[in-house]
Amino acid sequence: MKKTKLIVFALALACAAPPALAAEKVFVGHLRDYTGPTAFVGKYYGPGVLDALNHIVSKGGALGKLLEFESVDYSYKVPQAVAQYNKWRARSGGMTALQGWGTGDTEALISFVARDKIPTYSASYSGHLTDPTGANPNTKKPAPYNFFYGPSYSDGCRALAKWAAEDWKNSGKNGKPKFVHAGAQHPYPEAPKKACAEYAAELGFEVLPPVVVSMKPADFKAQCLTMQEQGANYAFLANLGGSVVSLLKSCATVGADFKFLANIWAGDRLVLESAGDGADMHFVAATPFWDSDAPGMKLVREIAGDDDFRTHHYIRGVCSAFYMKEAMEWSLENKGEVTGPGIKEGMYARQNWVPQGLEGVCIPSTWSPDDHRGTMTVNVYRGVNKGGKVTVEKIAETTLPRRKDWLGY
């Protein structure tokens, strides 16, 4: 495995620090993909986490003096991720928390992190990670130590389906609109497929058979023609990066006229730029964009170290690290040390929670012992490439009901 490591060791504690804390290092493992099939977005999200961790070490007070971390590129390979997890867990001093990445590896580690009591903050937003107790029969596995920032893949797709139903109604067209899921047969694109299809049907859509689209870039004209011939009106793009670019280009080539709805990883400025003139998509975002004047962007730019453009994936990485940071601080202040169970309890200590300094950047979020859906608020954006110029605008904000039958699903 091609591997790059970055290790930041803890600074020495001040003389006045309590002796009991001096021996309690806080180690965070960080899994990232810079070389695998999700590197198109991984190479932006990963630095958001890493820059935030470096910022915490340098300016995080008592916590910063305790923190150390290691970052490993596992190329999106589940066995590599599991092996690296076991290596970190077995290290001297163990592992306190994990900043994870993909759906396949995060779901594979659910039982491990629960057993080991290691809070895991993933960049997978699979709905399967949101039921900590297994209260919903649809839940694959209880996930008491899994957290993520932002709406789940299922809730993001549900919000897009809700927007599409309203769009169809406003268009004045007759009949039932047709909805189709387009994605690979892989845990990440498949995560919301069933849940979203059920809600789309509730909303009055005719749900078409899913269309399989590889995660690797390719000529997807056949898939576009299939969706066109089935009469699709709205296609949910469940992949990301080069695959989505290829699909948009292929569908433009065959003259497909349905609207594209894209998950939180599939929609961004870089995809629209790469897809070329005429690219048009509606997608989910959980932070503002780099040119935002939100108050919290001052801290984001300080963490980045410059004002060079970063994608909104980078900003989500910052949010993820800072929710973990403040839960760690709660554990330190209330338990006298930073432990997995203490961090977990710290995640439940606040409601409508925005990390300090990130106001207007991170959506106010609430986690509870029986519900790890941090937010049910979903922001929908439209991005268009016209003549090579990409514009992105927010077109809807939806707060979905916190339905029990959607928990863990």
Mean pLDDT, to the nearest integer, of 59-79? 96
Q: Which band of pLDDT confidence, cut at 50, 70 and 90, is reported for residue 245?
A: very high
> Any idea of the CA torsion for 214, 220, 226, 227, to the nearest 10 degrees?
80
Residue 370 lies in a domain: no
pLDDT of residue 212: 98
Are residues 100 and 194 part of one domain? no
| pLDDT above 90: percentage of residues in the chain | 92
φ, ψ for residue 65 (rounded to 5)? -75, -15
Q: Which band of pLDDT confidence, cut at 50, 70 and 90, is reported for residue 14?
A: very low
- How many structural domains does the chain have? 2
Mean pLDDT, to the nearest integer, of 122-148? 95
Are residues 381 and 324 part of one domain? no
Residue 354 lies in a domain: no
pLDDT of residue 60: 86
Residue 22 lies in a domain: yes
The parent domain of residue 166 ranges over 153-285+377-406
Mean pLDDT, to the nearest integer, of 249-271? 97
* pTM greater than 0.85 (yes/no): yes
> Contact at 8 Å (CB) between 85 and 109?
yes
Residue 302 lies in a domain: yes
pLDDT for residue 317 is more than 90: yes
Are residues 223 and 300 part of one domain? no
Are residues 165 and 129 part of one domain? no
> Contact at 8 Å (CB) between 295 and 360?
yes
Mean pLDDT, to the nearest integer, of 219-242? 98
Which range is least confidently modeled, 1-5, 24-28, 356-360? 1-5
Rounded-to-integer distance, Cα 272 and Cα 286, Å = 18
Could you say which of 304, 329, 346 is where a domain stops?
346
Q: Which band of pLDDT confidence, cut at 50, 70 and 90, is reported for residue 2?
A: very low
Are residues 397 and 328 part of one domain? no
Are residues 114 and 23 part of one domain? yes
Mean pLDDT, to the nearest integer, of 295-299? 98
Are residues 213 and 141 part of one domain? no
Per the listing, tokens 């409601």 go with 351
Are residues 119 and 200 part of one domain? no
pLDDT of residue 90: 96
The candidate with the shortest Cα–Cα distance to 80, out of 52, 121, 58, 109, is: 109
pLDDT of residue 15: 32
Are residues 173 and 57 part of one domain? no
Are residues 170 and 54 part of one domain? no
* Alpha carbon 191 to chain centroid, angstroms: 12
Residues 6+ apart with CB under 8 A from 1: 73, 74, 75, 77, 80
CA distance readout (Å), 234 to 23, 79, 150, 359, 384: 56, 36, 23, 34, 16
> Contact at 8 Å (CB) between 129 and 122?
yes
Q: Which band of pLDDT confidence, cut at 50, 70 and 90, is reported for residue 138?
A: confident
Are residues 134 and 9 part of one domain? yes
pLDDT for residue 299 is more than 70: yes
Q: Where are the beta strands (DSSP E) in 190-304?
A: 206-207, 211-212, 234-237, 259-262, 280-285
pLDDT of residue 24: 75
Residue 328 lies in a domain: yes
Q: For 93-110, what is each residue's pLDDT tens digit?
A: 999 999 999 999 999 999
**Which CATH number covers residue 29?**
3.40.50.2300
Are residues 249 and 316 part of one domain? no
Residue 372 lies in a domain: no
Per-state percent for the chain, helix, strand, coil, to nearest 5: 40, 20, 40
Q: Six-digit token pair at 367?
A: 């986690």
pLDDT of residue 319: 98
Q: Rounded to the nearest 10 degrees, what angle do helices 312-335 and 39-59 cross at?
A: 40
Residue 371 lies in a domain: no
pLDDT for residue 16 is more than 90: no
For the chain, first and last CA: distance in Å?
Answer: 33
Residue 48 lies in a domain: yes
